[in-house]
Amino acid sequence: MKKIAIGYGFFCCLWASTLACTKNNLPSGISVKDTVTVRSIASSNPVLKGLAANPLIRLTIDVPATISNKKYQRIHCNINAASVGDIQKIDVYQTGNTAFATDNLLTSCSQLSSSFDIPVNLTVQPGVSFIWLSAVLKDGAAVNKKIEVHCTQLTDDAGNASSVVETISPFAKLSGFAVRRAGDDGVNTFRIPGIITTDKGTLIAVYDIRYNNSADLPGYINIGMSRSTDSGRTWQSMKVIMSMGGPNDNSGIGDPCILFDAQTKKIWVAALWSKGNHSIAGSGPGLLPEQTGQFMLANSSDDGLTWLTPTSITPQVKDPAWKIMFQGPGSGIVMQNGTIVFPAQYWDASGIPYSSIVYSNDKGLSWKRGGSGAKSNTTECQVVETTAGNLMLNMRDNRGSFRSVATTANMGDAWQEHITSYNTLTDPVCQGSFIKARVNTGNGLQDVLFFSNPNTSSGRYNITVKASLDMGQTWLPVNQLLIDERNCYGYSSLTKIDDNTIGLLYEGVKEIYFVQIPVKDIIK
């Protein structure tokens, strides 16, 4: 409600200012009440290659009751010159309210330049009407540029031009790539993203292939992988890298977590295998696939080109009395001493969940679990090494409203709740991503913690990236960037691309998106 109230107050001030300016320039005999007002606001979302619609700008046309139907024949726009060649067309839609929708296409324009007109046949009745501009990118478009479009004038059928009043909002948008779209390869839903960057600069993205619907395990689910060798500008065809069942036995494998070991050049992926009904709800005491979900690992030694058959480490890491133990989805780490660490979660014998870790200090030959859970009633977590030997666990907390945070100096034998735990990072009970990256902050290279999630206490929208320059002691509001305001499934995964760029792989609705983000846009 606060966000709406602030926005309403701003629009009231803007409205008053607009009327004042208009009143001072009205021709003799025309009053303010006879004036049409046109305002524009930019939506907060990237422009993604591969999508048929990318909202750019909403025009609000307010026609007073003293005027009959108003007809418009032309919308004048400007595009930043660097983006003109990347846009295939701009579509114009009319909607019944402020929400973007594509069910009423008015026209499309593909004759674009830095300054151009969109011919329209638009009739608006007295009251408030909403017009949206949406972009479609060319197949060969670069996705490391920003796209900026402005509407400056609407011209009516008599040739009279109405200036468009812009609100203060970020009109420059990130561009990106729809890595997986609902329906690709006949798949209903893609979910649970994880991403890493190898020493060759290759991006490896993993995710659930949910063939029949969007539901979690148990079900017909495999782990898919997409690979990019040009920092996310293009992506190779999907590969299935973990498959543990078929469409007829209700078995599946999902919730991937990925890491890259620069010493061995191996990529590791952890995932949960549910043989039949042995996901969280269907698991119980024991270690066998017929008793409990399995903590599975697969790896690649050739930069993601080929993958070994998955194997289970459940007998090594699960207490037989517990219901289940498996990874926290997203990404894992390799510590400074070479120890491989996956974030993990388990449900104890009483069915209480805890966040924890699973690790190997012999390069994956054997595996151990952290000695204890970090905090009760927490599940999906992510881990970083803040300083040598010290781990920080960032956790989804089922109590809601905030993330919980804990640290350990002895590989999880004991955990200490952090000063920011359950009071700093807003969260709607959802997975979040948490990485440490050495990047250029403007004052030279510096180790920075980055965090992404839906930045809300309720609902999944406003995918946001935040940065902490003091190893998680503080998360200043100035060092954050709203990436996508739209409703979504909410999961995300971060990776460093280079010293000046962070990559974000995140969920839309049934889809997986990728954007490159300049560090300078996050850290002010």
Question: For the purposes of burial, counting CB atoms within 10 Å of the CB of 170, is it exposed (0-12), middle (13-18) or buried (19 or more)?
Answer: middle
Could you tell me which of 250, 254, 247 has the C-alpha nearest to residue 269? Answer: 254
Question: Residue 32, Cα to own-chain centre: how many angstroms?
Answer: 44
Q: 86 in the Ramachandran plot: left (φ > 0), alpha (ψ -120 to 50) or beta?
A: alpha
Q: Among residues 148, 380, 385, 507, which one is catalytic?
A: 380
CA distance 432 to 447: 20
Q: Residue 145: enclosing H or E segment and its boundaries? A: none
Contact 442, 523 (CB under 8 A): yes
CA distance 274 to 281: 10
Could you tell me which of 385, 475, 361 has the C-alpha nearest to residue 435? Answer: 385
**Taking the alpha carbons of 347, 348, 354, 357 in that order, is the dihedral positive or negative?**
negative
Report the amino acid identity of residue 98: T
- Give, in order, the Cα–Cα distances in Å from 179 to each of 203, 485, 515: 12, 19, 10
Contact 517, 497 (CB under 8 A): no
Contact 36, 60 (CB under 8 A): no
Pairing of strands 492-498, 203-210: unpaired
Q: 150 in the Ramachandran plot: left (φ > 0), alpha (ψ -120 to 50) or beta?
A: beta
Query: Residue 322 corresponds to which tokens in the numbers above?
Result: 């517990």
Contact 278, 293 (CB under 8 A): yes
Q: What is the SS3 assignment for 76-142?
A: EEEECHHHHHHEEEEEEEEECCCCCCCCCEEEEECCCCCEEEEEEEEEECCEEEEEEEEEEECCCCC
- Peptide bond connecting 477 to the previous residue in cis, omega within 30 degrees of 0: no
Q: Is 148 a catalytic residue?
A: no
Query: Phi, psi at residue 7, to the nearest 5°?
Result: -60, -40
Alpha helices by DSSP H, 184-259: none
Catalytic site positions:
380
